[in-house]
């Protein structure tokens, strides 16, 4: 992958260097080229930096120590977030070097859960331009905007319309913080150079009255555009992406559930794109279930699944479970019959007058209720667990503390090792806490959560709580898509990613009931996931020219690492 302005070259002796054509303040203000105090004496002379930075040259390690000291002095999580974002805006290499050294500590700051607060306070903490803000007034000018970018080789775009942010909802232009955070994980996870990454906010207005009344709000100050006007904007946006960023993969992020499915279905074959909330969430949950089956020593086809929540994530989970069941030989109807889906109105039945198309495959015939033991005409969650003999319960509802002890006891009557994933973010909105789940199940539940939790100690045994983080999936998917240049990201690719990610958890961890890797292993997981997806792609598309036996080296050799290289003037 060439990085144009930021491309690493090698001299006649094979030593790496970066060719640089700018100098002085322009060089210092380029966040991808700035070295700060680490510019050498020779570089300071060649690039006219004398007097612009303190005279003592420091090493990369010195810089990381200094900025970590500053990070630790920040008193709150949002202050730490602001500090890191400021660092990223002035020196990308140093930012990622620091993040690499403290990845477990800092991922919750730059991503979930702190990024939710950053979205809400975006207009009050805005510091420096990053990414594109597309409105109905400027969407036709995207061609002109592109020419203002230092990098003309964008490969990954994360775009949001900020309507369904992290369970918060409509957050207007502040949703830009999510694409910025996601793209940081592409770079630290899959080693995709920051100059390849472009965050985009589609600012179509907001229905959040608090934002509209805020004099410091930086977004469009009117209600959200809707209907055909909205779809026309999306269509123009997609056409401009195809024209001006022809190599880019699009990740649709935090759209409303209705728009999520409509946009994905309409454009997934128009340009290489996927929906993180639907497809990545589904893949990461499937990976956890695959590992849970290894612990249980049982087959997926012998389970009954209840998915509590039918938004983008819940449907994505249901779809991925069914896809895997089809892969192992079940027909479509039998696979879907094993998944029972709950939304805000209860168990989804086929006789609803307002049944949306994306829920229809999982809607159950009301006739099944005739044989059920129920206290009323509408079954409760407990009654569904009892009557379906459910063994797997996934919560992705946005409803706090909805899983109770009676639900876990019902699962225990159906299986010795119930699988329970309360995945709603942030942690204080989760359907249940790991502490309660281990206590209610007497340590028998196989548990995963959506946010980071500390280890749980129950009956003298310590449990490391697995985090079903999308970050284990999408960096590898992005890397595989870039390297293979595929034009369509298929559901099969996400199933392949789930299996590759699941294989990153070794037997010792599985024996301890652990089904997800640790965040510190993010890059290793991304590499193995990318290879797993590339194996499928090369099998289905032999014409792309990637040899199966070379995939590990191809992926490894394309990983960008945060470090300084010598600069030479061109």
348 is a domain residue:
yes
Asked, for residue 408, whether it belongs to a domain, the answer is yes
Does residue 99 form part of some domain?
A: no
Residues 198 and 337 in one domain: no
Range of the domain at 487: 472-557
DSSP structure string for 423-455 = --SSGGGSSS-HHHHHHHTTT--EEEESS----
Catalytic-residue membership of 520: no
- Residue 230: φ, ψ to 5°: -65, -50
Q: Which residues contact 78 (CB under 8 A, 6 or more apart)?
A: 114, 117, 118, 121, 125
Q: What is the DSSP letter of 349?
A: B
Q: Which residues contact 110 (CB under 8 A, 6 or more apart)?
A: 81, 84, 85, 99, 181, 184
Total number of domains in the chain: 3
The b/e string for 121-156 (b: 16+ C-beta within 10 A; e otherwise) is ebbebbeeebbbbbbbeebeebeeebeebebebbbb
> What residues contact residue 279 under an 8 Å CB cut-off, 6+ apart?
264, 316, 320, 489, 491, 494
Domain shared by 449 and 480, yes or no: no
* Contact criterion met (CB below 8 Å) for 325 and 332: no
List, edge to edge, every strand of the sheet that includes 567-569. 9-10, 16-20, 567-569
Q: Tell me, yes or no, whether 302 and 433 share the same domain.
A: yes
Count how many residues are written for the chain.
Answer: 570
Phi-psi domain of 349 (left: phi exceeds 0; alpha: psi -120 through 50; beta: other) = beta
Distance CA 409, CA 386 (A): 10
Residues 256 and 336 in one domain: no
Under 8 Å between Cβ of 155 and 104:
no
pLDDT values of the chain reduced to their tens digit, one per residue, 570 residues: 334 567 778 877 778 899 999 999 999 999 999 999 999 999 999 999 999 999 998 999 999 999 999 999 999 999 999 999 999 999 999 999 999 999 999 999 999 889 999 999 999 999 999 999 999 999 999 988 887 776 678 999 999 999 987 668 899 999 999 999 999 999 999 999 999 999 999 999 999 999 999 999 999 999 999 999 999 999 999 999 999 999 999 999 999 888 999 999 999 999 999 999 999 999 999 999 999 999 999 999 999 999 999 999 999 999 999 999 999 999 999 999 999 999 989 999 999 988 999 999 999 999 999 999 988 889 999 999 999 999 999 999 988 899 999 999 999 999 999 999 999 987 788 999 999 999 999 999 999 999 888 899 999 899 999 999 999 999 999 999 999 999 999 999 999 999 999 999 999 999 999 999 999 999 999 999 999 999 999 999 888 888 888 999 999 999 999 999 999 998
Question: Which of the residues 35, 182, 268, 359 is marked catalytic?
Answer: 182
**Residue 411 and residue 285 share a domain:** yes
Annotation marks residue 516 as catalytic: no
**In Å, how far are 331, 425, 438, 439, 442 from 461, measured between CA atoms?**
41, 26, 10, 12, 11
Instruction: Please check whether residue 241 lies inside any domain of the structure.
Output: yes
Per the domain annotation, does 154 fall within a domain?
Answer: yes
Give the end of a domain, one of 468, 492, 509. Answer: 468
Catalytic residue among 71, 111, 358, 567: 111
Q: What is the CA radius of gyration of the chain?
A: 24
């Amino acid at each position: 992958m060439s990085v144009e302005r930021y491309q690493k070259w090698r001299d006649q002796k094979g030593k790496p260097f970066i060719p640089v054509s700018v100098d002085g303040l322009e060089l210092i203000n380029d966040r991808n080229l700035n070295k700060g105090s680490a510019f050498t004496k020779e570089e300071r002379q060649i690039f006219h930096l004398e007097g612009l930075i303190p005279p003592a040259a420091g090493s990369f390690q010195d810089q990381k120590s200094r900025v970590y000291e500053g990070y630790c002095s920040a008193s709150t999580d949002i202050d730490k977030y602001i500090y890191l974002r400021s660092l990223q805006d002035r020196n990308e290499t140093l930012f990622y070097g620091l993040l690499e050294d403290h990845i477990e500590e800092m991922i919750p700051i730059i991503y979930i859960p702190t990024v939710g607060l950053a979205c809400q306070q975006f207009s009050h903490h805005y510091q420096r331009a990053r990414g594109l803000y597309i409105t109905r007034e400027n969407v036709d000018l995207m061609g002109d905007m592109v020419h203002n970018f230092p990098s003309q080789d964008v490969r990954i775009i994360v775009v949001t319309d900020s309507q369904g942010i992290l369970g918060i909802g409509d957050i207007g232009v502040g949703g830009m913080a999510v694409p910025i955070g996601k793209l940081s994980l592409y770079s630290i996870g899959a080693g995709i150079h920051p100059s390849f990454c472009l965050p985009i906010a589609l600012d179509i207005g907001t229905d959040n009255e608090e934002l509209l009344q805020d004099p410091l709000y930086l977004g469009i100050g009117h209600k959200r555009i809707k209907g055909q006007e909205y779809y026309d904007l999306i269509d123009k946006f997609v056409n401009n992406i195809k024209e001006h960023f022809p190599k880019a993969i699009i990740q649709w992020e935090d759209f409303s559930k209705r728009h999520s499915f409509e946009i994905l279905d309409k454009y997934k074959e128009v340009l290489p794109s996927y929906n993180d909330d639907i497809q990545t969430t589904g893949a990461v949950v499937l990976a956890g279930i695959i590992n849970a089956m290894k612990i249980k020593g049982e087959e997926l086809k012998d389970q009954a699944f209840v998915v509590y929540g039918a938004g983008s994530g819940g449907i994505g989970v249901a779809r991925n479970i069914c896809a895997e069941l089809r892969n192992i030989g079940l027909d479509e109807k039998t696979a879907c019959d094993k998944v029972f889906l709950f939304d805000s109105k209860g168990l989804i039945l086929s006789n609803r007058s307002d049944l949306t198309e994306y829920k229809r495959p999982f809607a159950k015939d009301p006739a099944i209720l005739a044989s059920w033991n129920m206290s009323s005409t509408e079954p409760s969650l407990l009654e569904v667990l009892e009557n379906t003999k459910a063994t797997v319960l996934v919560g992705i509802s946005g409803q706090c503390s909805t899983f109770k002890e009676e639900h876990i006891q019902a699962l225990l009557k159906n299986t010795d090792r119930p699988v329970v994933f309360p995945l709603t973010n942030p942690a204080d909105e989760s359907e249940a806490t790991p502490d309660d789940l281990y206590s209610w199940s007497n340590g028998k539940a196989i548990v995963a959560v959506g946010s980071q939790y500390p280890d749980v100690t129950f009956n003298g045994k310590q449990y490391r709580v697995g985090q079903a983080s999308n970050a284990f999936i999408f960096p590898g998917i992005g890397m595989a898509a870039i390297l293979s240049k595929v034009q369509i990201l298929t559901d099969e690719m996400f199933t392949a990613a789930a299996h590759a990610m699941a294989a990153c958890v070794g037997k010792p961890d599985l024996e301890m009931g652990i089904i997800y890797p640790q965040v510190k292993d993010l890059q290793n997981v991304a590499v193995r996931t990318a290879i797993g997806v590339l194996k499928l792609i090369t099998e289905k598309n032999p014409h792309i020219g990637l040899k199966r036996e070379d995939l590990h080296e191809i992926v490894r050799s394309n990983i960008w690492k945060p470090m300084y290289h010598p600069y030479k003037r061109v």
